[in-house]
Amino acid sequence: MRVIPYARQSISTADIEAVTKVLCSDYLTQGPVIPEFEKAVAAMCDVKYAVAVNSATSALHIACIALGLRSGDWLWTTPNTYVASANSAIYCGAQVDFVDIDPETYNLCPHKLEQKLRSAEQDGLLPKVVMPVHFSGQPCDMERISSLSQRYNFKIIEDASHALGARYKNETTGHCGYSDVTVFSFHPVKMITTGEGGMALTNDKCLAERMSRLRSHGVTRNEEHMAQTNGGPWYYEQIDLGFNYRMSDLSGALGQAQLARLDQFIVRRRQIVATYNRELANLPVMLPVQREYAESSWHLYVLRVDEAVSRISRNVLFMRLRDQGIGVNVHYLPVHTQPYYRQKGFRDGYCPNAERYSAQTITLPLFFDLTDEDQAKVIKALRFAICDR
Ligand SMILES: *Cc1c(COP(=O)(O)O)cnc(C)c1O
């Protein structure tokens, strides 16, 4: 049986030609394409610096290090995210805590954040970094989070893995007006793809330099940063413990070609969302809620199925749709309930909104190449599962 996936890359002949061109060039690893791709993303986002790396996970990791996150520090994030957001802090030896979500947007709740900051201040346990995640492509309320960062003196990393092309208060996500660093993912299910890949954006020159060193072993050829400057043109220095997190020119070329298609991608995603919103409006399920300040990039379309209202459980609905070749998914299992985080002492009930949401949510297929016929099939299967029993 053919399965309609929940997400999928779209590769055009122009994308293929861009990659093929690199294959015939001098550079397969990081070469001249990477700064071009970085400039294109930075220009689109209206931000000064961009550092391309081999995944968003790597970008989150080097952003945490560059902001000085280390043992003894706390990073707070949302439980409604992929595990990578929280793990980036653990890599640095820091501790992670979770702020519960807003039950309508499923994003980190600024009100809950404020309450938690107030009590953390009394206990002397304020976070060094807060990492909001723009879930499904809808930006968090960054103005509120940013004003809290000034009062409580923490840094902000936006995990915008879902949100390339999203807008908040008429500005493109990534401009870092409300954060220190913004991170995008170019995994194939996300807004554009480089195969594997990610990027860290910032307006801070020091952070940008630190992150680009960390992406390549902590090695510099910039004399301003060296202990000795009397070396010749062969001379370089390792001044940090970095990694090999570089993005290859093959990936960068695919990214450049994909970026040129982003507007088209978003237009089509909006069409698909409008059709879901219209066709599912009469079903006893909760459709995605958008805030007036947000223009989502629509990475995900998630429904909420409350058994008391829908008269079908999420799990039964999920299995019925899967049985009919609809590749539904769940975004996300709350990170604090993962066995690794339970080991650190987190328990059920710690973030009740995220836990309730997670038990009721189902992600429908949404991607650029989804045909009208396939979407109609999804809608029909959903109607049948919920209404005709
Ligand atoms: C996909 C994703 C990541 C990880 O991205 P990679 O590029 O696969 O490392 C991190 N955070 C969120 C919210 C994501 O959706």
Mutate to test the pocket of ligand 1, among 6, 9, 51, 57 (most ligand atoms within 8 A of CB): 57
pLDDT digits (tens, 9 = 90+) for 347-363: 999 999 999 999 999 99
How far is Cα 59 from Cα 181, in angstroms, rounded to an integer?
10
pLDDT digits (tens, 9 = 90+) for 211-254: 999 999 999 988 889 888 777 888 999 999 999 999 999 999 99
Q: Is the CB of 258 under 6 A from ligand 1?
A: no
Mutate to test the pocket of ligand 1, among 60, 62, 77, 82 (most ligand atoms within 8 A of CB): 82
Q: Is the CB of 247 under 6 A from ligand 1?
A: no
How far is Cα 383 from Cα 376, in angstroms, rounded to an integer?
10
pLDDT digits (tens, 9 = 90+) for 2-32: 999 999 999 999 999 999 999 999 999 999 9
Q: Is the CB of 194 under 6 A from ligand 1?
A: no
pLDDT digits (tens, 9 = 90+) for 78-137: 999 999 999 999 999 999 999 999 999 999 999 999 999 999 999 999 999 999 999 999
Distance in Å, CA 161 to ligand 1 centroid: 5
How far is Cα 86 from Cα 8, in angstroms, rounded to an integer?
25
Arithmetic mean of pLDDT over the chain: 97
**Which pLDDT score is estimated for 359?**
98
Residues 180 and 278 sit within 8 Å (Cβ to Cβ): no
**Which pLDDT score is estimated for 233?**
87
Tokens, residue 206:
């020091």
Q: Is the CB of 81 under 6 A from ligand 1?
A: yes
Would you please indicate which residues are annotated as catalytic (active-site) residues?
190
Give me the mean pLDDT over the 130-146 stretch: 98
CA 129 to chain centre: 16
pLDDT-derived band of residue 389, with 50, 70 and 90 as boundaries?
A: low
Distance in Å, CA 84 to ligand 1 centroid: 6
